[in-house]
């Protein structure tokens, strides 16, 4: 079940990144972006499955972790235009 949830999140997130890339909002190296999205999706799945839901609401922690990792990892996958 966990892997199915990670695969669904990965597919949707990658489709958004690629759509914004193809529409010209930003340039990314597609293989690097795919790897970054896979790692972000896996990390979000791990955070969601942690047994700390009594202390930290996973509705806040999962998007927070995904946003923080996306900020750094997708920035690294962005092609710098000169």
pTM over 0.85: no
Contact 26, 16 (CB under 8 A): no
Q: Which two tokens stand for residue 31?
A: 């293989």
Contact 27, 78 (CB under 8 A): yes
- Cα 12 from chain centroid? 10
- Cα separation, 42 vs 27, whole angstroms: 23
Dump pLDDT digits (tens) for 26-70: 888 899 999 999 999 889 888 888 887 678 888 898 999 999 999
What local confidence, expressed as pLDDT, does residue 67 receive?
Answer: 94
Q: Which two tokens stand for residue 65?
A: 């972790």
What local confidence, expressed as pLDDT, does residue 82 receive?
Answer: 40
């Amino acid at each position: 079940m966990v892997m199915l949830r990670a695969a669904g999140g990965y597919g949707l997130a990658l489709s958004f990144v690629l759509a914004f890339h193809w529409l010209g909002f930003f340039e990314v190296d597609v293989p690097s972006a795919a790897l970054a999205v896979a790692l972000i999706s896996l990390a979000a799945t791990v955070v969601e499955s942690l047994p700390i839901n009594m202390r930290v609401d996973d509705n806040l922690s999962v998007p927070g972790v995904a946003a923080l990792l996306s900020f750094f990892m997708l920035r690294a996958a962005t092609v710098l235009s000169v």
